[in-house]
Amino acid sequence: MTETAIVILAAGKGTRMKSRLPKVLHAIAGQPLLHHVLSTARGLDPQRLVLVLGPDMEDVAAALPDGAPGVDIAIQSERLGTGHALQMAMPALSGFSGDVLVLYGDVPLITAETLRALLAARRSGAALAVLAFEPEDSAAYGRLILGSDRKLERIVERLDADAAAAEIGLCNSGIMAIDGAHLAALLEALGKDNAKGEYYLTDIVAGARARGLDCVHAMASAEEVMGINDRVQLAEAEAALQGRLRCRAMENGATLIDPASIWLSLDTELGEDVTIGPNTVFGPGVRIADGVEIRAFCHLEGATVETGAIIGPYARLRPGAEIGEGARVGNFVEVKKARVEKGAKINHLSYIGDARVGAGANIGAGTITCNYDGFTKSLSDIGAGAFIGSNSALVAPVVIGDGAVVAAGSVITEDVAADAIAVARGKQVERAGAAARRRDKKSGREKKKSEKAKG
C-alpha cells in the first residue's frame, strides 16, 4: 500500500467572516471547522499530517483537539497563494515519497470515502488527481480543462478564465492527491504570472503535463467541497451537516419526531429506541442510552442519560449532569454537575446543581440546591428515597439522609438524619376575622376619597 501524507492548508485570514475569531475556529455541529477536517484526515490513517497556518494564528494552534499529537505545524509567513502554502509544508515532508493529499481547513464536509476515491484515482497511474464537482452556479470557481482522452490538461482559475473556459461546468474543489515523488519539482516550477500575482497550486497540473505526466480527476458532490468564506456559507454548512447527522441518528435506531427542528453535535451519541421531541438541542458531549425519551424543547450539553429515563419537556441538562436509569427530569428543570440516580424524580420547576439525588428520591416543584455562596460551590447530597417538599431550598453543603422528608417551603441549612422529618419555616399565625376587618377598613377609606373628590 502506498503511504499517505496529508497537508491541511489553513493560513487564510477569513476577512469576509468579519470576526476576531479565525475562520477555521468558527463552529458547525459544535466543533470548529478545522476540527472536522482533522477528524476526517485522521480517519485515513496518514503517516504524516501537516497543518499550514499564518504567522498570527497562535490561537488556532492552541485550540487543536488534545494538543493534536502527530500534527506538524508549518507557518506561511507571507500569504502568497496555495502553491506557496504547500511549499511551506515541504520541510515536514522531507524524505516522504508517498501520496500527498492536500485539504483545506475551511472545507469541513469532505468525507473519508470521497478522499479514498481520489487517492485511488491517483494510484491508477497518474501523477496527480484533482477532486472536481459540478455546482449549480459555477461563476466563482476555477475550471478543469480536459483533453480528448478525458485526462486533465490544466486548471484555469476563475479570474484568468476566458469565455470558452467560463462555459465549462466541471469545477475545481482545490483538493488534490499528488505523487510525492514529483511534488518538489512541480512546486519549484510554479510562477505567479496571473491575475492575483500568487503561486497557484492548480498550476502544477499544467506543469505535470509539460513533463509528460498524466493527471486525472475524481468527482465529489458540491455539498462535500463547500468552502466557508462568510457567515452565510457557515449557516449553509451547518444545515448540510445537520441533515447528515439526523439521518445517521435515525438509521441507527433513534426516532426524531420533527427532524428539521432537532440540532445535534458531531459527537452526540444516541442509543437505540431513543425518542426525541421537536425543538431539542444537543450541545457537545451528550450520550443518550437506549430507550430514553427526550420530550420537546430540551437543551442538553455535556450530559449522560441512562436507559429508560424521561427528560422534559422544557428541561435543561448542563455539563456534568448524569441522569440514571429510569429517572425523570421534567418541565423547567435545570440540572448541572449533578448525579440523579436510578428512578429519582425531579418533575417540575427545580434547579439541581452540584448535587447527588439518591435512587428513588422525589424532588418537589420549586426546589433549588443553593450551591454557590459567592466564593465556592458546595455539594448537596440527597439520600435514596428522600422526599423534598415543594419550594424548598437546600443550602449547601448539606446532607439529606436516606428516606428523610423535608417539609414544603423549608430552608435547610443543616444536615437531616435518615428517616427524619425536617421543617424549617416560619410558624403559621391565624387572626380570626382579620380579613373582613381589613376589607371594611379599606373600602371605607376609598369611599371617603371618592366623596372628597366629588365635593
Question: Could you give the CA distance from residue 355 to residue 233 in angstroms, rounded to a whole number?
Answer: 42
- Identify any residues that bridge with 103 across adjacent strands, giving them in sequence order: 8
Q: Which of 237, 257, 297 is nearest to 109 (CA)?
A: 237
Contacts with 19 (C-beta within 8 Å, 6 or more apart), sequence order: 26
Catalytic residue from among 26, 36, 84, 348: 348
Interatomic CA distance for residues 348 and 296, integer angstroms:
15
Handedness of CA 218, 200, 40, 105 (dihedral sign): negative
Angstrom distance (rounded) from CA 141 to CA 81: 15
**Is 348 marked active-site?**
yes
Cell numbers for 398, please give them.
448539606
Which residues are CB-neighbours of 68 under 8 A, at least 6 positions away? 38, 51
Beta bridge partners of 369: 394
* Cβ-defined contacts of 406-410 (< 8 Å, 24+): 408/364
Answer for the pair 371, 351: CB distance below 8 angstroms, yes or no. no
Catalytic (active-site) positions: 348
